[in-house]
Amino acid sequence: MRLTSEMGVKKIICWPDSKIVAEQIRHILRNNNERADQLARLASSRKPGQLRSTIHLEIPSSSATAECLTINEDAPSWKTPIRKYIVNSELPADPMEARKLRTQAARYTMVADELYRRGFSTPLLKCIDNHQADYVLREIHEGICGSHSGGRTMAAKVLRAGYYWPTLKEDCIEFVKRCVQCQKHDNLIHASAAELHSISSPWPFALWSIDVLGPFLVAKGQVKFLLVAVDYFTKWIEAEPLACISAANVQKFVWKNISKGQAEVANKVILTELKKRLGSAKGAWAEELPEVLWAYRCTPQSTTKETPFRLAYGADAMIPVEVGEPSFRRQHFHEESNDNSLRVELDVLDEVRERTQLVAEACKQWMSRHFNSNLKSRTFHEGDLVWRATGSARRNSSEGKLSASWDGLFRVRHALHNGAYKLEELSGKVIPRTWNSTHLKTYYS
C-alpha cells in the first residue's frame, strides 16, 4: 500500500486477506475472496530456503474494488506554492509575487505527485521539507555512509544523492557546526584569539621572568628540574638545576641571582641547544648547562641586536675562538689601554642601553603587528559554554592518536582581562588555573 501511494497510483484494486488490511479498506466476504486465499496458500507453502519467485496470475474480473485515498495533505512548506501553481495553476494575488513564482516554477516539475527540481549536478532533485531534510542531513553526516564531512562537501553530497531544499548549503554548514563529534575532534585553532600584550622593561635587571623546565632525566646530584630566569631588558639568562621545585629553592635562586615573562622564548633556545649538545647522553644535561648558558649570553638577541653580556657588562666577552685563532683585539691586547677602554665603554653603556631599548621597542611593535595580522578575535562572556584544547599532557594516552583534540564542556566563570578566563565544570566545580582564549572555542548546540 505504501509503495503504491509513493508511486503516485491513483486507483488500486485489492484482494486483501489480512484482517487488518481488510478493515482499513472494506471488509470482503470470504467466499468472494478465493483468489487472495489461493495466493496466500501459494506463498505459505513455499519451502524455506527456496528463492522467491514472482507469481503471475491472470485475474479476469475484480471480485471487489476499493479506492485508496490520499491520507492527509502535508503541512504547508516551501513547496506548497510551487506545487499549487504546477498542479492547479494557482498564483498569489500580488502580481510581483505571481511573476516571481512563475519564473521559479519553470525549474520544477511533478513526477508521480512528487515535486522535483531540474538540477545542474543531477537531472532531477527531489524536493524535501524540514523533517525529511533533517533525516537526510543526519544520515549523510553521521549515518552508515557518513564521514563527518565539512559543510560544503556535505552540501555537494546531498545534491549528489538527489535531494534539494532552498537553504541546503546554509543548513549543512550549521549542522556541521553543531555536531558534537566534529567539535570535539576539530583541528586546533592557530589564529591568535586576542591581541599580543608585550611587556617592556625600562632598565636592565628591573623585570625578570621565571619559568620551570622539566622534569628531565635525573642527572648528577639528583637534579631533574631547571629553573630559568631571564631579564626582560638585557635578555641575561640565569638557570639552575634543582632536585625539586619548592618555595625555598626558588627563593634561594632568586636571592642568589636576581638581587644584584621572556623565559619561554629562552627556554626553547636552551632546550634545543641542550638537545643538540647531548646527543644520546641525555643524563649529562646538568653538566652541559653552564656552556649552553654561556653561549646564550654571548649571542646577539634578535630583539635587542646586542648580546646579553654586552648589555650587562658593557663589553663583549672574549670567546674561546678568539684565543684559538687570535682575533684583532687578542693580538693587539694592551692591558693599560684595555682598562681605559673598558671604563670608556662603561660610560657609554647607558647610551648603548638607550639605543637597545629603541630597537627592542621597534621589534615589539613589529611583533605585535605580525601577531595581530593573524588575529581572529575570540572573546567569551561569563556563562558561555566552551571547549578547551586538549594539550598533549591532558590527552587520554589509552586512546592514542584517536583521542579528542577538544575537552568539554566548560562554563566561563569569570572573564579576566587580557583574554584570560576562569572556567568551571557544568556541576560548578572550579577548574584550577586561568585559561587563555587561544585554548578555548565556543560550544554550539
Where along the sequence are the contacts to Zn ion (CB under 5 A)?
A: 148, 179, 181-182
Place of cell 684583532: 328
- Cα distance between residue 266 and residue 236, in whole Å: 10
All cell numbers assigned to 11: 486507483
- Measure the CA angle with vertex 24, ends 22 and 27; round to 5°: 40
Q: Is 261 exposed, middle or buried (0-12, 13-18, 19+ CB in 10 A)?
A: middle
Whose Cβ is closer to Zn ion: residue 107's or residue 148's? 148
Whose Cβ is closer to Zn ion: residue 185's or residue 413's? 185
- Cα distance between residue 45 and residue 39, in whole Å: 10
- Cα distance between residue 137 and residue 148, in whole Å: 11
Whose Cβ is closer to Zn ion: residue 180's or residue 210's? 180
Whose Cβ is closer to Zn ion: residue 142's or residue 211's? 142
Q: How far is the CB of 180 from Zn ion (least distance, A)?
A: 8
Q: How far is the CB of 438 from Zn ion (least distance, A)?
A: 24
Q: Which residue is nearest to Zn ion (CB)?
A: 179
Measure the N-to-C terminal CA separation of the chain; round to a whole number of Å: 39
Whose Cβ is closer to Zn ion: residue 181's or residue 442's? 181
Q: How far is the CB of 141 from Zn ion (least distance, A)?
A: 5
Q: How far is the CB of 148 from Zn ion (least distance, A)?
A: 4
Q: Do residues 141 and 148 touch, judged by C-beta distance below 8 A?
A: yes
Q: Cα 74 to chain center, whole Å? A: 40
Tell me the backbone φ, ψ of residue 253, rounded to 5 degrees: -60, -45
Q: How far is the CB of 209 from Zn ion (least distance, A)?
A: 42
Return the closest-CA partner of residue 378 out of 188, 117, 150: 188
Q: How far is the CB of 163 from Zn ion (least distance, A)?
A: 19
Whose Cβ is closer to Zn ion: residue 222's or residue 442's? 442
Q: Do residues 117 and 65 touch, judged by C-beta distance below 8 A?
A: no
Q: How far is the CB of 139 from Zn ion (least distance, A)?
A: 12
All cell numbers assigned to 63: 471480485
Whose Cβ is closer to Zn ion: residue 181's or residue 341's? 181
